Structure 1
Amino acid sequence: MTPAAAEASAEPTTARTTPGRATFAALRVRNFRVYATGQAFANTGVWVQNIALDWLTLELTGSPAAVGLTMALTFLPILLFGMHGGMIADRYPKRNILLVTQACSATVATTLAVLTISGHITVGAIYGLALVTGFIIALDNPTRQSFVGEVVPPQHLRNAVALNAAVFQTTRLVGPALSSVLIGTVGSGWAFAVNALLYVGPTITLASLRTAELQPAPAVPRAKGQLRSALRYVAERPHVGWTIALVGVFGTFGLNFPVVLTAMASETFHSGAGLYGTFNIVLAVGSIAGALIAGGRSHSRLRLILLLGAAFGLAQTLAALAPNLGTFTVTLVLMGVTNLAFQAIANSSVQLWVDHEYRGRVMGLYALVFMGGTPLGGPLVGWITEHVGVRAGMAVCGIVPLVAAVAVAAVLAAQPVLARRRAGHAALVG
């Protein structure tokens, strides 16, 4: 079977619905509405903390490379243990795992708040807590990704993933603005305190889910070689493997926003945390549109994922070349649309293309390549930004995903030609 045929056969059949109904179909499921509400609280807090932490790191060090190092430490555990987190998600009840990770995240936020408000925060403490956060994410992310498939029936999974992304980006409108106000009035420490408080929301909603209406996958018993079997499973499905590979390039080079946007705000446009927060809000406006576009699709193909990846790379390259703040703002919207459409469609497609018993481990691999590349990409982009220039750093973040998407498309386009040539050669020899 060719990759294209495998991809086509992997898509579940769904009834046709009107675009408006398809865009919000998952909200008809009560458990998903409750779960999404909790995620709104959690994601708002994440944005509040991320903006404050990025800016606090830049204030303490004056170095975009230090912001990149903080990102790298956050995602290093995912590079090392991402698939192990997915394996745990396949073995144990996912809701219970998420309740534990919420408590751990709230503890980290509380520690940051106490240290910062008391005046004892140091760059070393930020690095250490970033590393702890990374271990939490290594377990939380694949669990959370695969848990959506237990909250909604299969026909709503693609829509639920897209709406989850829309919720995340909607909170990006609120979180950065709230964080900017807190930083400018009472300081970064209180932004961390607000994040700790907001973790109460997802804890309550996770506990409020109707367990009888969940659709848990059968627990995978402990056995040898489970990680290797998941890798073989992906290798046997080229459409899954190519998507995950492109997601890895995308995450390593394309999404270093804390590094390039803090530097663009402070160095290129000579402003402060308020403009950085505004950049995130503008990016979120486009991202919400991209997520809703993805949510309205009942199916997708690998070629669409490649097209969106290339479009995002092109948009970020144009942003790096933007001559003024107005043009830069417009390109940020385009980046947001293509970014979230790519992420939502790639994520939901991979989940729909794999069997339930492999979903946790495959999404662990997905998280590993998507976020685990940041320890490489973050410092590299930070170094380029600091020593070559802000625009050069941002251009790299766009050009690499663009080239990767075009290269994968070229390889896939060449495969039928090579197959025909091999067949013709075999016929001549025969």
Structure 2
Amino acid sequence: MAQTTNTRAESVLRSNPITSRVASLPTFASFRERNFRWYYLAMLGQMAAMNIQLIMRGYVVFEITGSFAALGGIALAASLPMLFLSVFGGVLADRAPKKIVLQVGQFVSVLNALVVGILILTDTIVLWHLFAASIVQGTTMALMMPARQAMIPEVVTRDLLMNAVALNSAGMNLMRVVAPAAAGFLTAAAGGGVVGAGPVYMVMAGLYFSAIVALAPMARGESVSTGSDKGGLEDLRDGFSYVRRDPTILAVLGVTLISAFLAMPYIQLLPGFVKDVLGGGPVELGLLTAISGGGALFGALVIASLPERHRGLLLLASAILLGLALVVLSGSRAFWFATIAIVFVGIGTAGRQAFSQILLHHYVENEFRGRVMALMMLQPGMMALGAFVIGIVAERAGIDLAMATLAIALSLIAGLLVFMSPRLRKLQ
């Protein structure tokens, strides 16, 4: 019965003329691969839910407290599990069926979103509920996301890897365009404030469930790495040793994590920035987040069409652009000006994320892929630490000055690396 359902679903995709035409274009070449199409559909559902969650969690916290420190604290609660547990998620990705890991994690996410939504709709939500839900979600992401990242080379051939990673990034950024804007309008339509977030959390639960369903047609055996005979802790030690021995991987990870700490906290602090600096509400917050995603989507589609050259230099250039664009954003006082700045923030974000993943997938050996991609999952933890620091500084010096200081630091560091790290600059 399951095989019949899978066959019918695949037949629909294969016979769809739009799908066939899209897959024939060089930019969308990876869609020729059956497993990549199902992987992609699942990713869209999950990323839509995650982007809604990211914006709504901060929105509800700021509505309850009005505190930038609380925004930083909730980001830290969500991301600390990723700092400490994502490496174990990498071991899990290298030892267990990735499809099952993803589906179990998405099921937990469904339950988590439902609980928060019910608490909001029944007007019983308090701050500690949001902290608890954030810890649960952070733990789930830490154990699940390395499997998603490590699965990409298993659903496309090696010659399509750069294209697949860029398309994956484009899809994630498409959800950054659609999901936050829809969440902002739905929140406003439901009355705004905390209560307006209730229906949005129920939609979020439905999106997580759609990701479970989308993975079903993938045969389990097609998404499994060869397990190790060693114990989990020994696998973990081997992964760290592998990274330490390889200066290329170490350099790429270093740039990625530093930029996550210095630049990406703007996402968690944007609800407060929009309300206090720009004088906006949920609609403006959703639109600004969506416009950032639009810039990132444009950047990702450009990357999908690029030849496989100068990728190390492009990673550093993306970090420089991201830092400079955030400086301009932090100085914005008019909404229209902020929308222009955040387009370039999105382009820089797409570049730093896509080129770091492409380089790691290219240079990492298959048996260590899950554990190395788990180190990429330290990014949310670094983002949260940065948000916590900026949130505390913002209480005293203002959110604009706090954001600008860290963004300038990122541009300076990346600029110095262009001249001082020829190994990284010359990576192809």
Q: Same fold (TM over 0.5)?
A: yes
Q: CA deviation at 1:307?
A: 1.5
CA contact (8 A) 1:249 1:404 kept: no
Q: SS in structure 2 opposite 1:381?
A: helix
Q: Which residue of 2 aligns with 1:93?
A: 97
Q: SS in structure 2 opposite 1:219?
A: coil
Q: Equivalences for 1:15-164 in 2 at 5 Å?
A: 21-164=25-168
- The Cα RMSD (Å) is 2.0
Q: Which residue of 2 aligns with 1:181?
A: 185
Which residue, out of 287, 294, 304, partners 1:295? 304
Distance 2:122 2:86 in 1: 34
Say which is worse superposed, 178-187 or 406-415, in terms of deviation. Answer: 406-415
Q: Per the alignment, do residues 342 and 22 of structure 1 end up closer, same or farther by CA in structure 2, a change over 3 Å counting? A: farther
Distance 1:149 1:396 in 2: 38
Which residue, out of 231, 237, 245, partners 1:228? 237
Q: Equivalences for 1:315-394 in 2 at 5 Å?
A: 315-322=325-332, 324-368=334-378, 370-394=379-403
CA contact (8 A) 1:35 1:202 kept: no
Q: SS in structure 2 opposite 1:277?
A: helix
Q: Per the alignment, do residues 28 and 124 of structure 1 end up closer, same or farther by CA in structure 2, a change over 3 Å counting? A: same
Q: 2:380 is aligned with what amino acid?
A: M
Q: CA deviation at 1:272?
A: 1.0
Q: SS in structure 2 opposite 1:209?
A: coil
Distance 2:338 2:331 in 1: 8
Distance 1:367 1:318 in 2: 28
Per-residue CA deviations over 1:342-371 (Å, capped at 9, x if unaligned) read 211111210121011000001111212x22
Distance 1:211 1:415 in 2: 37
Distance 2:424 2:170 in 1: 36
The answer as to 2:223 corresponding to 1:219 is no
Percent of pairs identical after alignment? 27
- Unpaired runs of 5+ in structure 2? 1-23, 191-195
The answer as to 2:413 corresponding to 1:409 is no
The answer as to 2:409 corresponding to 1:400 is yes
Q: CA deviation at 1:289?
A: 0.6
The structure with the larger Rg is 1
Q: Equivalences for 1:162-177 in 2 at 5 Å?
A: 162-177=166-181
Q: SS in structure 1 opposite 2:230?
A: coil
Q: Which residue of 2 aligns with 1:305?
A: 315
Q: Per the alignment, do residues 238 and 122 of structure 1 end up closer, same or farther by CA in structure 2, a change over 3 Å counting? A: same
Distance 1:171 1:320 in 2: 24
The answer as to 2:246 corresponding to 1:237 is yes
Give the TM-score normalised by the residue count of structure 2. Answer: 0.88
Give the TM-score normalised by the residue count of structure 1. Answer: 0.87
Q: CA deviation at 1:414?
A: 10
Per-residue CA deviations over 1:128-181 (Å, capped at 9, x if unaligned) read 110111110111111110011211122212211211111111112221122112
Say which is worse superposed, 277-286 or 43-52, in terms of deviation. Answer: 43-52
CA contact (8 A) 2:55 2:268 kept: no
Distance 1:367 1:44 in 2: 18
Q: CA deviation at 1:415?
A: 11
Distance 2:100 2:330 in 1: 43
Q: CA deviation at 1:413?
A: 4.3
Moved over 4 A (4+): 413-416
Q: Which residue of 1 aligns with 2:256?
A: 247
CA contact (8 A) 2:97 2:223 kept: no
Q: Which residue of 2 aligns with 1:194?
A: 203
Per-residue CA deviations over 1:242-298 (Å, capped at 9, x if unaligned) read 110111111112111334422221111212111111110110110101111221234
What is the aligned length?
Answer: 395
Q: SS in structure 1 opposite 2:216?
A: helix
Which residue, out of 261, 282, 291, partners 1:273? 282
Q: SS in structure 1 opposite 2:377?
A: helix
CA contact (8 A) 2:96 2:227 kept: yes
Q: CA deviation at 1:210?
A: 3.9
Q: 1:350 is aligned with what amino acid?
A: L
